[in-house]
């Protein structure tokens, strides 16, 4: 079976992300959750914190490995021998950007294939941005994130970083 990679910023990881991770883990022998360290953005959580949160969330999935990377996703795919890129689609509006990325990735690395998974309807509205915003205004985000992520969000708010 091919090695699959699910790249993203995961700032923070949501239950929607975890739904895609769990479903992908059933489809592939190995799934690498690739946490992007994007120097052009200022994330709420450091890449190390995001890797730690994801590792905790995925600890019951033996075929899932969480790693961080810099640079182009296809370069990391090549480095890890991943031949499948997993992408979640929440709505039709996601498709236009995602199909451009898939075509670009394939042009840069002809052996890479993209698999699109429709997000479960339960999480189709959810994004990391929404979670950060709700947490910033002290709303209960426990239905959107796991307890470890909720605790990390609360720490960031207390530190005045969210």
Catalytic residue list contains 41: yes
Strand pairing of 82-89 and 113-118?
Answer: parallel
| Residue 39 annotated as catalytic | no
- Residue among 26, 39, 41, 143 flagged as catalytic: 41
Residue 78: active-site member: no
Q: Exactly one of 90, 106, 136, 154 is catalytic; name it.
A: 90
Is there a contact between 38 and 11 (Cβ–Cβ < 8 Å)?
A: no
Among 59, 63, 82, residue whose Cα is nearest residue 72:
82
Those residues whose C-beta lies under 8 Å from the C-beta of residue 110, and which sit 6 or more positions away, are none
**Which position among 17, 50, 87, 132 bears the catalytic label?**
17
Query: Of 15, 87, 128, 132, which is the active-site residue?
Result: 128
Catalytic annotation present for 136? no
Alpha-carbon distance of 70 to 162, in angstroms, equals 24
Q: Which residues are catalytic?
A: 17, 41, 90, 128
């Amino acid at each position: 079976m091919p090695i699959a990679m699910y790249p993203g910023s995961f700032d923070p990881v949501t239950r929607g992300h975890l739904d895609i991770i769990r479903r992908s883990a059933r489809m592939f022998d190995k799934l690498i959750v690739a946490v992007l360290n994007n120097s052009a953005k200022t994330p709420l959580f450091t890449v190390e914190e995001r890797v730690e949160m994801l590792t905790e969330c995925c600890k019951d999935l033996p075929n899932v490995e969480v790693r961080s990377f810099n640079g182009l996703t296809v370069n990391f795919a090549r480095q890890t021998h991943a031949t499948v890129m997993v992408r979640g689609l929440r709505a039709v509006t996601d498709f236009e950007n995602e199909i451009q990325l898939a075509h670009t990735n394939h042009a840069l690395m002809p052996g890479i294939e993209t698999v699109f998974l429709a997000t479960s309807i339960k999480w189709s509205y959810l994004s990391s941005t929404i979670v950060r915003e709700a947490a910033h205004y002290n709303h209960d985000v426990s239905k959107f994130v796991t307890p470890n992520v909720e605790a990390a969000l609360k720490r960031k708010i207390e530190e005045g970083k969210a």
